[in-house]
Structure 1
Amino acid sequence: MTDTASPKKRVDVAAAVITQPNGSVLLGQRAPGTFYPGYWEFPGGKVEPGEDPRAALIRELDEELGITVDTCWPWLIREHDYEHANVRLHFFEVPEWTGDINDHVHAALAWEHPERFSVAPMLPANGPILKALRLPHEMGITDAAHMGVDAQLEALDRALARGLKLVQIRDSSLDTRPRERLAHSIVQRCHAAGALALVNGDADLARRTDAHGLHLPARQLMACGTRPDFEWVGASCHTRAELEHCAKLGLDYAVLGHVNATPSHPSSPSLGWAGFTPLTQWLPMPVFAIGGVSLEHMSAARAAGAHGVAGIRGSWA
């Protein structure tokens, strides 16, 4: 007689990334008598049968913390195999709520900034999203080939001064030496401002300039069998297959578009937010919206499931 192990049960959990304007997020320490006592996690709880994850999150935050959710944005979905179950976590960002936080289930609460977490250990399923929390919500994409190098650098200085923290160095149409000089100047400015700089499509240039990472055009993405060896790696995507390949490689983000009509693609069909949302569902990494979007569209982008917005023109206006 052959013994067969019982399949693990699947548990859906809604988890809240409750944020403050300074970027800090709320964590709770699991109480004694629960799985992984003493570990830290994002507040939330089990999705009941027939319950929508967003509704579950709103219910759980009322029960656990005594707060009413005012704004709730879908973010990431990650899966983790625990000894007792396969857990699928639906992460939502909660930037606005009503009421005073009074914890009813955790041993302790702590506000922690993603750049300098001081509590440990993190619950295994929650740990991988800590890096995603460090990813800014706006990506500026350089356009020196059209703006002119001096104008681009001046616009970059203005954007960094107002708080831009993520720059993709594109400008692949420039000749090799001008592009390298431009990339060096941009990376130096980003380092000084505490911003991330990623080079589009040229790993050697990214290394020579000490950029923070590499951004892959879709054609390079689909040719990759393994993740490039950089701290930060993302890619441009236009299809669900490309997004899923990003996830398979373990990339840090994707950029999807175009969402709205743009001057560079006036006759190409756009996704619209209604087309953007289904393409980005059930993904484990953040996805930026691109194409006719700017900071003015941030709320619409977040409501549609985007991590933020990326722009070739919007960031430099």
Structure 2
Amino acid sequence: MHVLAGVLVDGAGRILIAQRPPGKHLAGMWEFPGGKVEPGEAPMAALERELDEELGIAVDPLSFEDLIRVPWNYGERSMLLEAVVVRAWTGEPQALEAAAIDWRLPRDIDPAMLAPADRPILAAIWLPEHYPITPADASVAHASTLVRAALARGERLLQWRLPGVPVDEVRAGAAALLPEVRRFGAHLLLSRDIEGARALGVGVHLSSAQVRELGERPLPLGSLVGASCHDPDELALASALGCDFATLSPVEPTQSHPDTPPLGWPRFAKWAENASLPVYALGGLAPAEVPMARMHAGQGIAGIRGFWNNATDPA
């Protein structure tokens, strides 16, 4: 079943969500408006029709922007949920078929209120295009300096990864950064340290081994969970765990893993497009390659050296 969802964005950056009416599957939960593609119908024509029927608006197809494709299973019912950003329409949206509609800023939407298949759409809306990861050989002091500089230049999602530093020092360094991270409205994820993430009230980025070993999401919805993935099986497991996003690597040859064959962009695109969550391209990439990632079904670029200008620890 092919389903189109329209993500209407108004001039204030708010998005429209609709509540499923009584008697429907997942009644009471919220979703992005849209519906099924009828036999012989073009997908974008289906979206135009559904938004007219559900909201009473005429949308401008020239304003459409592809966002994410979410393959999903509700029990024995499988579907492909294709989300499209809509920025121009005529008419005032009304709840013609939904129990209610509401305009909210993405950060004010609790993922738990959304139907499960719509949660990756919300993540794709607000997750940034960049995901810097601190250099593995940095000290806590140097990594803290790098993170503060990154926040000042506009980075809003960062991974705190210092594998050579004792865990207590890693946690203390993260705790010291949190007031500034939160002042910028940013997110700092601890690498692999689920216990530390729970203690500090931050997100966590899981290793591929953790993705394979864990049986359930390690943090509640609202606390970010990322996952390191290297193949479609790990992407599927990350989605099943309820991870908010994943990195897929290595896309290009890397200094850290010179013997690992790179995926290349065509394979990255195939795997990312069939994943049920936003996917960052990682491995031998720099921020300037965000357009390339977006062209190949990626959320954006994750990286280490490319984000820190090969910065080394002066200590």
1:77 to 66, 71, 83: 71
Q: Does 1:165 align with 2:159?
A: no
TM, length-normalised to structure 2: 0.76
CA distance in 2, matches of 1:226, 1:289: 24
Q: Does 1:102 align with 2:91?
A: yes
Contact 2:71–2:78 (Cα < 8 Å) also in 1: no
Contact 2:135–2:143 (Cα < 8 Å) also in 1: yes
1:36 shift after superposition: 9.2
CA distance in 1, matches of 2:73, 2:101: 24
1:195 shift after superposition: 1.6
TM, length-normalised to structure 1: 0.75
Aligned counterpart, 1:248: 240
Aligned counterpart, 1:212: 202
Q: Does 1:303 align with 2:295?
A: yes
1:187 shift after superposition: 3.3
CA distance in 2, matches of 1:248, 1:92: 20
Query: Secondary structure at the residue paired with 1:145?
Result: coil
1:173 shift after superposition: 1.9
Contact 1:253–1:285 (Cα < 8 Å) also in 2: yes
CA distance in 2, matches of 1:31, 1:285: 26
CA distance in 2, matches of 1:192, 1:124: 30
2:191 to 190, 200, 222: 200
Distance 1:276 1:218, change over 3 A: same
Query: Could you list the runs of 5+ residues in structure 2 that have no partner in the other structure?
Result: 310-315
Distance 1:39 1:58, change over 3 A: same
Contact 2:120–2:278 (Cα < 8 Å) also in 1: no
Distance 1:45 1:314, change over 3 A: same
Distance 1:243 1:126, change over 3 A: closer
Question: What count of residue pairs does the alignment treat as equivalent?
Answer: 298
RMSD: 3.8
Contact 1:222–1:242 (Cα < 8 Å) also in 2: yes
CA distance in 2, matches of 1:35, 1:219: 35
Query: Secondary structure at the residue paired with 2:158?
Result: strand
1:130 shift after superposition: 6.8
Contact 2:18–2:32 (Cα < 8 Å) also in 1: yes
Query: Secondary structure at the residue paired with 1:115?
Result: helix
Deviations, residues 87-106 of structure 1 (Å, cap 9, x unaligned): 625132427x5x54336885
55-64 or 214-223, larger mean C-alpha shift: 55-64
1:68 to 54, 61, 68: 61
Instruction: State the identity %.
Output: 35
CA distance in 2, matches of 1:160, 1:21: 25
CA distance in 1, matches of 2:243, 2:29: 26
